[in-house]
Amino acid sequence: MSEGEQAQEYHGKLPRHVAIIMDGNGRWAKRRHMPRVAGHRAGVESLRSIIQRCGELGVEALTLFAFSSENWRRPEKEVGLLMELFIIALQRETKRLNERNVRLRVIGDLSRFSDKLQKEISKAEEKTKVNTGLLLAIAANYGGRWDITQAVKKLALQLEKGDLAAAAVDEDMVFQHLCMADMPEPDLFIRTGGEQRISNFLLWQLAYSELYFTDVLWPDFTPKELDTALEWFAGRQRRFGRTGDQVEQIKRA
């Protein structure tokens, strides 16, 4: 099947937003008797091919968990190497992202990163900001609890200044202050590496996402593996609290 036909195949059932926990780099390397960082390097290759595939298929947004707020607990050496890899990837990949019309955004508490890394992030965001294709969000030093907390803090400040009444606070207002307020909520969540947990990723935004877990380690997650996840997604009935019959009725109307 050609790519165009495949996109057609998912027609109407293609997720607008895919969010991925890219897990299993360390185990991938360990199995090969290689240092963990070799797994992270191999993971960058997967990342590149998955971004390309999402762009080709017409997925609107892709969010990738690259470094969690808890990952600082890893050995200093691994954290340092991950930061280095992040800088190198930003420098190397920006050109490719532009060629593919991808707009990059990095979400998370960036203040803990080095000045150099923060600068590279702004540069890459700036260089890709006019692109109109896939919106790529990289979650770095991101935590779902941090995201909700920073949203609440912004609202509390408005309240303190007298610009906001407590009674006016509703779900939509909280959502509007989260990191991805201008993006559709993720329709499909994927976690590679065999663990079945959220690990403080997008806590608010995943409320109604379809959750797909695979044992495949991230460096082995090819576009074909993504297609399998998309096929699985296309077969889900999303009910949002309604009954299955109601959903069928709405579809026919």
Residues annotated catalytic, as ranges? 23, 71
Torsion of CA 104, 40, 89, 111, to 10 degrees: 60
The interface partner of residue 67, options being Mg ion, ligand IPE, none and the CB cut-off 5 to 8 Å by kind, is: ligand IPE
Residue with smaller CB distance to ligand IPE, 36 or 100: 36
Q: In this structure, are residues 210 and 185 in contact, taking their beta carbons and an 8 Å threshold?
A: no
Give the length of the chain. 253
Q: Which stretch binds ligand IPE (CB under 6 A): 22-30, 91-99, 118-126, 148-156?
A: 22-30
In the bound complex, what is the minimum distance in angstroms from residue 133's beta carbon to ligand IPE? Answer: 24
Three-class secondary structure of residue 147 per DSSP: helix
71's contact among ligand IPE, Mg ion, none, with CB below 5 to 8 A by partner kind, is: ligand IPE
Segment near ligand IPE (CB under 6 A); pick from 6-14, 15-23, 121-129, 242-250: 15-23
User: Per-residue b/e over 177-192, b at no fewer than 16 CB within 10 Å?
Assistant: bbbbeebebbbbbbbb
C-beta of 33 vs 161, nearer to ligand IPE: 33
- The distance from CA 253 to its chain's CA centroid, rounded to whole angstroms, is 33
Shortest distance in whole angstroms from residue 83 CB to ligand IPE: 11
- Which H helix or E strand runs over 86? helix 76-99
Provide the minimum distance between the beta carbon of 253 and ligand IPE in the complex, in angstroms, as a whole number: 41
CB of 86 to ligand IPE, least distance (A): 9
**CA–CA separation, 203 and 82 (whole Å):** 24
Mind spelling out the 3-state secondary structure of 157-200? HHHHCCCCCHHHCCHHHHHHCCCCCCCCCCCEEEECCCCCCCCC
Cα separation, 217 vs 27, whole angstroms: 8
User: 110-121: buried (b, 16+ CB within 10 Å) or exposed (e) per residue?
Assistant: eeebeeebeebb
Q: Could you tell me if 188 and 15 are in contact, meaning their C-beta atoms sit under 8 angstroms apart?
A: yes
Interface residue with Mg ion, options 23, 93, 120, 210 (CB under 5 A): 23
**Shorter beta-carbon distance to ligand IPE: residue 26 or 144:** 26
Footprint (CB under 6 A) of ligand IPE, residues 32-91? 65-68, 70-71, 82
What is the smallest separation between the CB atom of 196 and Mg ion, expressed in angstroms?
Answer: 13
User: For ligand IPE, which stretch binds (CB under 6 A), given 16-24, 172-180, 205-213, 229-237?
Assistant: 16-24
Q: In the complex with ligand IPE, which residue's Cβ is closer, 97 or 216?
A: 216
Would you tell me which residues interact with ligand IPE (CB under 6 A)? 21-27, 65-68, 70-71, 82, 193, 195, 197, 199
